[in-house]
Structure 1
């Protein structure tokens, strides 16, 4: 039976599937499902004097019937007898082909895979693996390849390719955070999952915005009251709470591609936290007066003190982060400035080496804490200061 759809430039052909069973009709799948239904509605108790009333498990793939049963009492024999009777009931007394029946085993090859109920494993037959490898070898050695062979090779490697692409995707998603932020987010996510478990919530927020916002704001209240642990005497600051909410939101974006947040009436509670528990007082900035005091306490005959003074002045005037020019947690970041990144120029704009000719200093940056991959390079320049002490 066939049909054409000229507007869609399509052709549909519906074929019968006469398989090799004795007396098997076309479209055997419908009859196979009927046989499995009869098997699955019976148990040892319904076909014998057994007290075992657990239903048989019947599965079919077009014209292949597969029985999976525990080996106890006479259950295996009764399951096979039930399958035979069901086949005769649906297809007639001539439908049984004993050559197609196999014995019971804990290992079976079907659907192109090897199923082992003892080891609880599913594996690919060695012949299939060698066949796939042969296709790859053939592709590498031949000068020409047909479209058919290329499609077979792509089909064999599609699953492995998809897994590899998924791995790359996870790595890129994880790399969207700095290492320090990733560790902090993981800690916040672990607390979130523990809290959800204690409240009998799923850590993945529901699609309903109202329910999602409610669960999130309850977690916020917990952090405000108890911090990281219910035994804590002091809750988290607003900045810490916002960081934890950001961590939960990041995991939802990463896993499901959805944005989460608080509804307006729940966000009002966050504003109240800011009023009741303001952020800690920020540290006072370093001033030129601080530098003068430090200069008075240093011994410039000591190499250590000279390096300390140079690092302090350079960090102050070039607005450097600690990670940009100092060892940070026993680690040197790839974007940290190096000696070759520092240039000295005279009044004419020419690179010089003598201290007396230096008019300005330029540092080239290969990224920073907010650009650890070094995508954007930039430089900062400081000209000579009339204060001899600071430019010493």
Structure 2
């Protein structure tokens, strides 16, 4: 069946997208903010933090802190599990966006939890032991930034293959064209184009780069290659190349590095003032770990609008890069409309919602940019 081009919005999907986006946002706020913060607050108010510390105290010292972090994370994950399952499986199936089986969803859920536990236990244990260091927040900020760089390196080559199956991009003619586009822009280290089998999980399209150095590859979701024209795919790759050429990942790490130091400094002052509250006997008490997690989560929440504003600017720059290099404004408009319909994204969210929660510019803004570029 030929792919319709240029794509125009489906009015029925636009109505569905409004409902879907609103409900998904509410569930995200409930699970990612309210339940998480409330769980940590209840742990402190009922002094479960002290009970857990005393329960683990007979164990060898080296095990106490990692196990304390493990049980804290388990309590939070159990509190969030019902809504996580509904939002990730039931709700997505309700709107026809998921291809998961229950077994497949839980398999990926457990993989995400495993990675979350490894990263969480390492970071929480490190933060705890750093509390005994003078100006711990300064040292912690440096180590946090270095760890972010490390995760950036291993994510595409270790974590992505952990979740996805890959296959070759069989359209050899178009593959050569995409690689030629990379070379034209000076990105000669990208040597291959592969297909990610996302259709086993969902109907949502995407693309990204994977691999190290001269082994880098373009990864296209099969939901992209099966539903988009070649011109549309090129605009998507042009956008991703914009991020790559403009070093947006490194920019984001730098912004996080700038942010983390004042955040940890303020947390340090609050935690010193919290001694004798919530069963916390002294600064550096293991029972203070839930308070640290709560304060860190609140800080991330407060910083989110600014972080999202920065993200939207970088995404807009990547859109402009695609327009200037691929030079297919008509295809870029078609891509934005098709992406919105396939993912049920609200193309015109309320400005306040966009400002607070959206990491990408609203679809109507991206379409407007492409149309204005075409007129120049």
Q: Same fold by TM (over 0.5)?
A: no
Normalised TM-score (structure 1): 0.21
Normalised TM-score (structure 2): 0.21
Question: Quick check: which has more Rg, 1 or 2?
Answer: 1
Structure with the larger RCO, 1 or 2 (CA within 8 Å, 6+ apart): 2
